[in-house]
Amino acid sequence: MPKKRDAKKINFTSIAEVPTMPMSLGSMLWNKTGTWRNIRPEIKLEDCIQCGICWKFCPDMSILIENEWPVVDYDFCKGCGICAEECPAKCIVMVEERK
Amino acid sequence: MIEIRFHGRGGQGTVVASKILADALAQEDNYVQAYPEFGVERRGSPVVAFIRIDSKPIYDKSRIYAPDHVVVVDPTLVEAIDVTEGLKDGGWIIINSDKKPGEFAFPSKFKVATVNATEIAVRNKLGSLAAPIVNTAIVGVVTRILGLTKLDSLLKAVGDAISIKPENNKTAASEAYEQAGDYC
Amino acid sequence: MKKVIMGNHALSYGAMLARSQVIAAYPITPQTQVVELLSEMCADGTLDAKFIKVESEHSAMAACIGASAAGARAFTATSAQGLALMHEMLHWAAGERVPVVMGNVNRAMAPGWTIWADQNDSLSQRDTGWMQYYCASNQEVVDTVLQAFKVSEALSIPSMVILDAFALSHTYEVVDIPEAAKVDAYLPPFRPLYKLTPSDPRAFGGLTSPEHYMELRYKLQKDMEKAPALIEATGREFEKIFGRYLGLVDPYLCEDAEIILVTSGTAGYTARVAVDAMRAAGTKVGNLRIKVFRPFPFEAVRKYTAAAKKIAVVDRNISYGHHGIFSQELKSAVYGHADGKPVFGFIAGLGGRDITPASFKEVVDYAIAHEQPEAEIVWIGAKI
Ligand code: SF4
Ligand code: SF4
């Protein structure tokens, strides 16, 4: 099982905690963009050649590499389909999101 | 404070002349301010450059309307424009020309000097007769007539500013400086 | 070392002496020589910096923001329409708190197409969160670039060093070029608190919800409020090393003046010549040249205008439908502090029209002749 990223919402209680610049405030950790998805990528690992192209191309860093295998992080994957398009082994398929 | 206006044509190095003069003056601990006409210069069109010289810091950043002296780098400009506009009484009109001062019809309240800077430049292989590079000869003349700096300071400024044929340019400046001695 | 240089090259020397590490710029009249000289310095090794050629001013600022976020000292320069094109990125730089320093040559905004001086280009960027320094001499330009980097890096706020088109940009003056070793002592290398680096990955400028945005802006304002004291302190430090003080304002004969001229840019120096002449004729007039416009030097302005009977602000800019911008700021600075003393607002020198000692004489004569201004704007030198 892939490790879930820590998705705790950050709330500052005093101005002292606020960084100087808008920087890694954690907004993207609590903003679980996985709910935006209406199609989902599924990886057929039996055909995967472990090239890492899906990991590199995913604009949302939602392909995690666990023990050298690609795993989709569905908490954040928006279902854009870029990984499926780029996979040279054509082993990622986009399927209708289950209701 | 002394204010001088240079008249030339775009491409003749009129602005460079005022800059070299400024360099020479700065070496002798003067305050200087030199600037071109604030506009869009084109090759061949009449251009103007200005210089202010003082022993104290120069705070006036407005343009020069009433120069103490004018320098005419291109003799054809004497016909084309009024080079005496705003010129103070008693001011020098220094012209690059093969004519004698008396051949120009300027009011007698101005002093006129002519030096053939074009001939000096061409003889020192600075440009061609059609497009002579006269700026170093011109600053030689101006420096001498107005008694602005020592020849050494001028030659150092010429050497620092000009990377093409520096020796020829220094010779041109010295020759012009010598010739202008007639007016001193 | 004393050198005769043009104002544009004064910016280049400032950026070079500051050991800028990334320079990204796009040429525009009358700023072009700034980047020309810097690109030559990068090519011949005088300056060890990455020179990035870009396709627009917007990209130039974007490149500087990226470079600064990655921990590099970044410099650019522009003017007028170029600055306007950068506008979005100016907010970005200040919001992301990157201490980029930019030279801006004050040129009037087109149309009518123009290349001549006025301040509407930089003053239109007033509310972007940048500090703004208005210079009056080429010496001040070189020196201010160094100070601007020091203050910017201490506060994580970008700075604009501003000089008038032609009257400084193309004017040669004698400049005492600061010695490199002394500059290094004054301005140590840029060491940001946070930077883009793979060893400590962070994202900058990401989505900021209403829970966080306001505090970030509060911090920017609080740091901006620290700037006046820091500018004075770094100005004194500069004076110790180089013998020239760099302050928020430049007062001239203000102590006993009945009328204070408030000026900026090169006109602020021309005004001194007029003040000398008027003093010689018996008029008690002084000149307060505003050097730093953002943060606005409220305290200094109140202090130097306190004893005067009248304040006469000369603006080389206009906020259409309101009035001169320095004049607005002056009124807000002395509000509640001036015992109802009149602030006269004059507009002069738009689009490169010359501002001469005679212009200031006209201003002072008007202020003497009127108890109160007859209008919010009194136009000087306009054919109206
Ligand atoms: S569908 Fe898009 S967001 Fe989801 S893993 Fe693939 S590339 Fe990433
Ligand atoms: S791109 Fe396709 S083949 Fe390559 S690692 Fe990803 S799933 Fe496997």
Task: Write out pLDDT tens, residues B57-95.
Answer: 999 999 999 999 999 999 899 999 999 999 999 999 999
Q: E strand or H helix at C74, and its extent? A: strand C74-79
Task: Write out pLDDT tens, residues C13-48.
Answer: 999 999 999 999 999 999 999 999 999 999 999 999
ipTM: 0.95
Task: Write out pLDDT tens, residues C215-254.
Answer: 999 999 999 999 999 999 999 999 999 999 999 999 999 9
What is the SS3 assignment for C25?
strand
Domains of chain A are 1-31 (no CATH), 32-96 (3.30.70.20)
Which residue lies with its CA nearest to atom 8 of ligand 2? A48
Angle at C20 between CA C250 and CA C179, to 5 degrees: 60
More confident residue, C88 or C193: C88
Secondary structure tally for chain A: helices H, strands E? 3, 4
In DSSP terms, B8 is beta-bridged to B47
What is the model's pLDDT at position C302?
96
Q: Does the C-beta of A60 come closer than 6 Å to ligand 1?
A: yes
Counting one residue from chain B and one from chain C, the pairs whose CB atoms sit within 8 A come to 63
Q: For residues A74 and A40, is the Cβ–Cβ distance under 8 A?
A: yes
- Other CB atoms within 10 Å distance of the CB of residue C73: 25
Which of the listed CATH numbers 3.10.129.10, 3.30.70.1400, 3.90.1280.10, 3.40.50.970 matches domain C2-242? Answer: 3.40.50.970
Domains of chain B are 2-183 (3.40.920.10)
Q: Model-level pTM?
A: 0.91
Cα A83 to ligand 2 centre (Å): 8
**For residue C30, cis peptide bond before it (omega within 30 degrees of 0):** yes
Q: Domain C249-379 classified CATH 3.40.50.920?
A: yes
| Mutate-to-test residue for ligand 2 from A53, A56, A83, A85, highest number of ligand atoms within 8 A of CB | A53
- How far, in Å, are A2, A45, A59, C137 from residue A40 at the CA level? 17, 15, 15, 64
Task: Write out pLDDT tens, residues C117-165.
Answer: 999 999 999 999 999 999 999 999 999 999 999 999 999 999 999 999 9
Query: Could C204 and A23 be called an inter-chain contact, meaning their C-beta atoms sit closer than 8 Å?
Result: yes
How high does pLDDT run on average in chain C? Answer: 96
Whether C368 has a pLDDT exceeding 70, the answer reads: yes
What is the model's pLDDT at position C209?
83
Which tokens in the block code for residue C342?
Answer: 């009149």
What is the model's pLDDT at position A6?
55
Residue intervals in chain C for CATH 3.40.50.920:
249-379
Q: For residues C336 and C303, is the Cβ–Cβ distance under 8 A?
A: no
Query: Which among B18, B26, B33 has CB closest to C2?
Result: B26
By CB atoms closer than 10 A (0-12, 13-18, 19+), residue C261 is buried
Task: Write out pLDDT tens, residues B113-164.
Answer: 999 999 999 999 998 888 889 999 999 999 999 999 999 999 999 999 998 9
Only one residue has tokens 């030689």, namely B140
Q: Within a 13 Å sphere around the CA of C317, how many CA atoms are in the beta-carbon half?
A: 25
Which residue lies with its CA nearest to atom 3 of ligand 1? A77
What is the model's pLDDT at position C72?
98
What is the model's pLDDT at position C46?
96
What is the SS3 assignment for B143?
helix
Query: Could C216 and A23 be called an inter-chain contact, meaning their C-beta atoms sit closer than 8 Å?
Result: no
- Other CB atoms within 10 Å distance of the CB of residue A92: 23
Shortest alpha-carbon distance between residue B149 and chain C (Å)? 16
pLDDT band at A1 (very low <50, low <70, confident <90, very high): very low
Torsion sign across C-alpha atoms C111, C116, C122, C123: negative
Task: Write out pLDDT tens, residues A5-49.
Answer: 555 566 788 888 888 888 876 666 777 889 999 999 999 999 999
Buried b (16+ CB within 10 A) or exposed e, C37-68: bbbebbeeeebebebbebeebbbbbbbbbbbb
Shortest alpha-carbon distance between residue A51 and chain C (Å)? 22
What is the model's pLDDT at position A2?
44
- How far, in Å, are B98, C159, C297 from residue C229 at the CA level? 63, 16, 10
Cα C70 to ligand 1 centre (Å): 28
Q: Within a 13 Å sphere around the CA of C54, how many CA atoms are in the beta-carbon half?
A: 25
Task: Write out pLDDT tens, residues B2-60.
Answer: 999 999 988 788 889 999 999 999 999 999 999 998 777 677 788 999 999 999 999 99
Cα A70 to ligand 2 centre (Å): 7
